[in-house]
């Protein structure tokens, strides 16, 4: 039996719900608890504003006001389509945990002493991270195997923020491509050992929004496969060669405009 705890950024995270819903049906995988980070606290808002700037307002609006509707706006392969395929009936993580009788906790921060106390109490083999800020060493040391994270980029080449767009700006679509990487977290940014990675081939008219939507469904798939592989003993983490890539940061809007133009220019190569 593999014991897991799922960490989520908000209570209505569709990504977290899809992972929890799928894993709840798996043999010999137990979700011992779901821990959600409170979104309306000053420390979180300061930290995320420092990282995202003006984009934070849009993110809050999407998560709290639009909710799941934002996933159904894009046709094709996206989280809304996956939710329909899974027949997901839970509107939020609170509903899911009540129905499945899983302990549900809300904390100010995943690194907060109260959060660490909860995690230590449940003694997970794996912590499944679906968002909610950076994780510190005391938390990373709690699970027996480690903390799983899925990154929307190919590691080790593209670590950090906006790596889908940076791949297009640097004209590396044909060479490196778009994909997602499942890895164990360490104290660095997307630097932990790799378990799985998989590429996608976007359509000839794909936008960054379409590509990210498809990558989100791939992240659910890889997270589930990763927990299954750890349970079955079929996966071995491979350390990254960090010199093969670098960390990227939030892209300036002007560069993002250029990224869209370069994406269109590289489409024939996709």
Question: pLDDT digit string (tens) for 29-64?
Answer: 999 999 999 986 666 556 655 656 655 566 555 555
How does DSSP assign 115-138, residue by residue?
HHHHHHHH--SEEEE-SSS---HH
Give 62-86 pLDDT, tens digit per residue. 555 555 655 555 567 999 999 999 9
pTM of the model: 0.90
Work out the average pLDDT over 220-233: 98
On the question of pLDDT at 249 being above 70, the answer is: yes
Query: Is residue 45 a part of any domain in this protein?
Result: yes
Tell me whether residue 198 is in a domain. no
The DSSP element (H or E) to which 37 belongs, if any, is strand 29-37
In a domain, 14, yes or no: yes
% of the chain at pLDDT higher than 70: 85
Closest CA to 141 of 196, 187, 191, 188: 187
Domain-embedded: residue 241 = no
Per the structure, how many domains does the chain have? 1
Residue 206 clears pLDDT 60, i.e. is over it: yes
Q: Indicate whether 186 belongs to any domain.
A: no
In a domain, residue 122? The reply is: yes
Q: Mean of the pLDDT values across residues 189-210?
A: 94
The C-alpha atoms of residue 124 and residue 1 are separated, in whole angstroms, by 11
> Looking at the domain assignment, is residue 27 inside a domain?
yes
Looking at residue 204, what is its pLDDT?
Answer: 84
Cα separation of 79 and 252, whole Å?
A: 27
Classify 158 as helix, strand or coil: strand
The secondary structure of residue 6, as a DSSP letter, is E
Q: State which residues form the domain around 49.
A: 2-144
- In residues, how long is the chain? 270
Give per-residue pLDDT as tens, 162-182. Answer: 999 999 999 999 999 999 999
Residue 62 lies in a domain: yes
Mean pLDDT across the stretch 91-98?
98
Give the tens place of pLDDT for each residue, 2-19. 999 999 999 999 999 999
């Amino acid at each position: 039996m593999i014991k897991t705890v799922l960490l989520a950024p908000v209570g209505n995270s569709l990504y977290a719900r899809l992972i929890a819903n799928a894993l709840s049906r798996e043999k010999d995988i137990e979700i011992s608890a779901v821990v959600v980070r409170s979104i309306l606290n000053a420390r979180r808002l300061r930290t995320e504003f420092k990282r995202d700037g003006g984009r934070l307002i849009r993110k809050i609006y999407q998560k709290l006001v639009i909710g799941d509707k934002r996933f159904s706006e894009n046709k094709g392969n996206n989280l809304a389509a996956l939710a329909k395929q899974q027949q997901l009936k839970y509107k939020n993580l609170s509903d899911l945990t009540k129905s499945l009788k899983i302990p549900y906790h809300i904390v100010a921060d995943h690194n907060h002493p109260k959060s660490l106390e909860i995690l230590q109490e449940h003694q997970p083999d794996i912590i499944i991270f679906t968002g909610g800020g950076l994780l510190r060493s005391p938390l990373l040391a709690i699970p027996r195997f480690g903390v799983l994270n899925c990154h929307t980029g190919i590691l080790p080449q593209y670590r950090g923020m906006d790596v889908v767009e940076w791949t297009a700006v640097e004209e590396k679509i044909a060479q490196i491509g778009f994909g997602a990487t499942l890895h164990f977290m360490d104290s660095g940014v997307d630097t932990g050992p790799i378990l799985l990675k998989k590429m996608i081939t976007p359509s000839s008219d794909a936008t960054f929004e379409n590509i990210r939507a498809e990558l989100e469904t791939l992240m659910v798939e890889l997270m589930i496969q990763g927990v299954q592989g750890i349970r079955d003993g079929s996966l071995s983490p491979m350390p990254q060669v960090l010199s093969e890539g670098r960390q990227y940061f939030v892209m300036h809007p002007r560069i993002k405009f250029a990224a869209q133009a370069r994406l269109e220019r590289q489409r024939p190569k996709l």
